[in-house]
Amino acid sequence: MGLFIRELGEFGLIERLSAIVARTDPRVLVNIGDDAAVVRYDRPVVMTTDALVDGVHFRDDLIDPTSVGYKSLVASLSDIAAMGGKPLHAMVALAVPFTEQVERIEAIYRGLDEACAEFGVTIVGGDVVSTSGPLVITVSVTGELVGERPLLRSGAQVGDVIFVTGDVGGSAAYLHSKNQSDGLHIGESDEWILQKRHQRPVPQLMAGHICAQNPGCTSANDVSDGLSSELHEIALASGVRMMIDADRIPTLPALRHYARVVSVDPLQFALYGGEDYQIVGTMNRVKAGSFLSLMQAHGIRISLIGQVKSGEPNVYLNTRSGIEEVPKKGYDHFPVGVEPV
Amino acid sequence: MGLFIRELGEFGLIERLSAIVARTDPRVLVNIGDDAAVVRYDRPVVMTTDALVDGVHFRDDLIDPTSVGYKSLVASLSDIAAMGGKPLHAMVALAVPFTEQVERIEAIYRGLDEACAEFGVTIVGGDVVSTSGPLVITVSVTGELVGERPLLRSGAQVGDVIFVTGDVGGSAAYLHSKNQSDGLHIGESDEWILQKRHQRPVPQLMAGHICAQNPGCTSANDVSDGLSSELHEIALASGVRMMIDADRIPTLPALRHYARVVSVDPLQFALYGGEDYQIVGTMNRVKAGSFLSLMQAHGIRISLIGQVKSGEPNVYLNTRSGIEEVPKKGYDHFPVGVEPV
């Protein structure tokens, strides 16, 4: 039996958690422990906040607590990357059930700290409060722009090519496989590969950096709610039509293999899955060659998946059997018309 | 019957909430609507985050939803003020029960917007997710230092005087009165005065500003968990003993009157109540005169309540019947040894 938080008290818990994420950083003038943190930035400040709820964003049977912490930070780092920013500092607010065990919260913090160490971020503050409901983790991240300008969703130009980093759909395929009742549809090594996509996503910081410094990159968005949803956001913000090629959307062999076994179109995972934390964006065609070379020189896999066209903002998929509209669907926390369970 | 969030959907809700808090701000390079916000700061950045939980931090029978929003922002502004910072931008993350009505969330946002308008803050981002538990509001605020240095808890010097702005204990007395079963202990006008302390606290931004620019101000802390708790934090961080005079702790006549009627020592509210959002701090004795004058010239009520002494870090209260130790108690989200209800 573990230690309950009420055996430590609020201040005892904060002391333990602060020790886990303690980090020195010359930019931090005031670290954890006062009313607020003070940090030094030299360039425009990029900031984002994300809330994650136990049972909604993560489930004990699908992800371990350390990975929950890791992924909670990555979700925000991905937003900063897609703005062309370098994440530097984070604050973590926890609403914790009264009956929660200290070990689980500490494991989440170890995951947060792992991601901090890996991606150069310092946690400079936070808050711990009690709740009668499930655990809620809210991560706020601040950083600096790396280039002269932020990467917006609104700059896509007719004639640009559409690119996406890495591969998409892996996290969704993993969730799908875990919801199959017989559990026999996926081989062990494929499961491990897809599980890693779900549990330990990688924020595309270097890709965002390269995009921000290349004037030919006209828009960017991180893939958190699914490729379709993100492309629709760029289409709407830029007032353009996005035409993507089904054959060019990058998916893992493990995903395609799993999709074949369960007779699901792999594009269902790739387009509507979400939590891929890749960057999708648009690039001036003339400058695309050097952009691709630079990405590849940095070991970043990048795929050109389509073109920006004129017309009413929308997204279309070019398949072997013709062109079809891609519905704007992805994760919706309050899907219209669905009764709560 | 109101509108349920599931009748709007996540994106419909975000659109409505964004419209409520929309504000133009020349410092904001990228506002709500992209992956992250981008703002311009000229000086070191101050940042804080606070989570508030329905049923823990606010209760429908004690505070209206608009005031919940207002107060949620004030809690963070108060932290920034106590660092000697000027709050400028905020992000709001909501974990919302599936069955929540849109009207209540909109009222909370109107309250946030009221506080933004009053204190010069722009909400530049946020997140809305679903939860099976109670509403959780997490407000993160960033701003700039106004002076050359942050106000810390750790600078109190032996011989300094201890000051506090405004009055303390009003919010706690209001909560106490509402928990009396007969409800007859408080007059209507007194109730209104104490209610205002609970529902519409004022962050001490100008006081923080004056403290930050006066080199004689050696420490500061905002009174969120109760005067005793905050004094203990300064004592511990500075390695000093705090001696306060019972007769000098500023309380409202309405509080003292209510305390007499219910036969409670008014200092119980003043020392252990919390949510006063005043600033308590220490000041070099020689520079105290001009400091007081400047505060008063800005219409800020300020009281000198004691002195900093040498000795083991602790807090003592000087009463007519002698000197007693002030226990470090205040709100604890996970009080040690208390079983969850």
Listing DSSP states for B170-183 in one string gives HHHHHHHHHT-SS-
Domain contains B334: no
Report pLDDT digits (tens) over B288-314.
999 999 999 999 999 999 999 999 999
What is the number of structural domains in chain B? 2
Among A126, A150, A340, whose Cβ lies nearest the Cβ of B30? A150
Residues A177 and A210 in one domain: yes
Q: How far is B151 from chain A (nearest CA, A)?
A: 9
Q: How far separated are the first and last CA of chain B, in Å rounded? A: 31
Domain contains B330: no
Q: Does B134 touch chain A (CB under 8 A)?
A: yes
Residues B110 and B202 in one domain: no
Q: How far separated are the first and last CA of chain A, in Å rounded? A: 31
Domain contains A1: no
Segments in chain A below pLDDT 70: 1, 182-185, 331, 336-341
pLDDT tier, B338 (very low <50, low <70, confident <90, very high otherwise) = low
What is the pLDDT, as a whole number, of residue A340?
A: 46
Mean pLDDT over the full length of chain A: 93
What is the pLDDT, as a whole number, of residue A9?
A: 83
Among A10, A133, A138, whose Cβ lies nearest the Cβ of B133? A133
Where does a domain end: B145, B174, B202?
A: B145
ipTM value, please give it: 0.94
Instruction: Answer yes or no: do B133 and A128 touch at CB < 8 A.
Output: no
B1: pLDDT strictly greater than 80: no
Residues A26 and A117 in one domain: yes
Residues B126 and B15 in one domain: yes
Domain contains B265: yes
Structural domain that includes position B60: 10-145
Domain contains B185: yes
- Written as six digits, the tokens of A237 are 């913000």
Report pLDDT digits (tens) over B119-128.
999 999 999 9
Residues A14 and A138 in one domain: yes
Report pLDDT digits (tens) over B144-200.
999 989 999 999 999 999 999 999 999 999 999 988 876 666 888 999 999 999 999
- DSSP code of residue A34: B
CA distance B4 to B328: 44
Collect all residues with Cβ–Cβ distance below 8 Å to A292 and sequence separation of at least 6: A302, A304
Which of B185, B5, B204 is CA-nearest to residue B100?
B5
Q: Does A276 touch chain B (CB under 8 A)?
A: no
- DSSP code of residue B63: S
What is the pLDDT, as a whole number, of residue A180?
A: 82
Instruction: Answer yes or no: do A127 and B49 touch at CB < 8 A.
Output: yes
| A265 marked as binding residue | no
Q: Does B263 touch chain A (CB under 8 A)?
A: no
Residues A205 and A111 in one domain: no
| B321 marked as binding residue | no
Chain B CA closest to residue A331? B10
* Inter-chain Cβ pairs, chain A and chain B, closer than 8 A: 276
Chain B from 81 to 120: CB within 8 A of any A CB: 82-83, 85, 89, 91-96, 98-99
Residues B28 and B125 in one domain: yes
Instruction: Answer yes or no: do B6 and A133 touch at CB < 8 A.
Output: no
Chain A CA closest to residue B40? A44
Which of A63, A80, A318, A94 is CA-nearest to residue A205?
A80
Where does a domain end: A86, A120, A145?
A: A145
Q: Does A53 touch chain B (CB under 8 A)?
A: yes
pLDDT tier, B341 (very low <50, low <70, confident <90, very high otherwise) = very low
CA distance A173 to A154: 30
- CATH code for position B220: 3.90.650.10
What is the pLDDT, as a whole number, of residue A179?
A: 84
- CATH code for position B86: 3.30.1330.10
Domain contains A91: yes
Residues A185 and A67 in one domain: no
What is the pLDDT, as a whole number, of residue B200?
A: 97
Q: Are strands A217-222 and A279-283 parallel, antiparallel or unpaired?
A: antiparallel
DSSP-derived 3-state class of residue B122: strand
Count of beta carbons in the 10 Å neighbourhood of residue A265: 12
| A222 marked as binding residue | yes
| A67 marked as binding residue | no
Instruction: Answer yes or no: do B91 and A48 touch at CB < 8 A.
Output: yes
Give chain A's length: 341
Instruction: Answer yes or no: do A334 and B98 touch at CB < 8 A.
Output: yes
Instruction: Answer yes or no: do B56 and A140 touch at CB < 8 A.
Output: no
Residues A127 and A219 in one domain: no
Residues B181 and B126 in one domain: no
Among A49, A126, A136, whose Cβ lies nearest the Cβ of B131? A136
Report pLDDT digits (tens) over A146-175.
998 999 999 999 999 999 999 999 999 999
Among B57, B140, B150, whose Cβ lies nearest the Cβ of A49? B140
Where does a domain end: B95, B118, B145?
A: B145
Which of B181, B169, B330 is CA-nearest to residue B257?
B169
Residues A252 and A285 in one domain: yes
Domain contains B3: no
Count of beta carbons in the 10 Å neighbourhood of residue A227: 29
Residues B16 and B120 in one domain: yes
Instruction: Answer yes or no: do A131 and B133 touch at CB < 8 A.
Output: yes
Q: Is B252 exposed, middle or buried (0-12, 13-18, 19+ CB in 10 A)?
A: buried
Domain contains A156: no
Report pLDDT digits (tens) over A76-127.
999 999 999 999 999 999 999 988 999 999 999 999 999 999 999 999 999 9
Instruction: Answer yes or no: do B49 and A150 touch at CB < 8 A.
Output: no
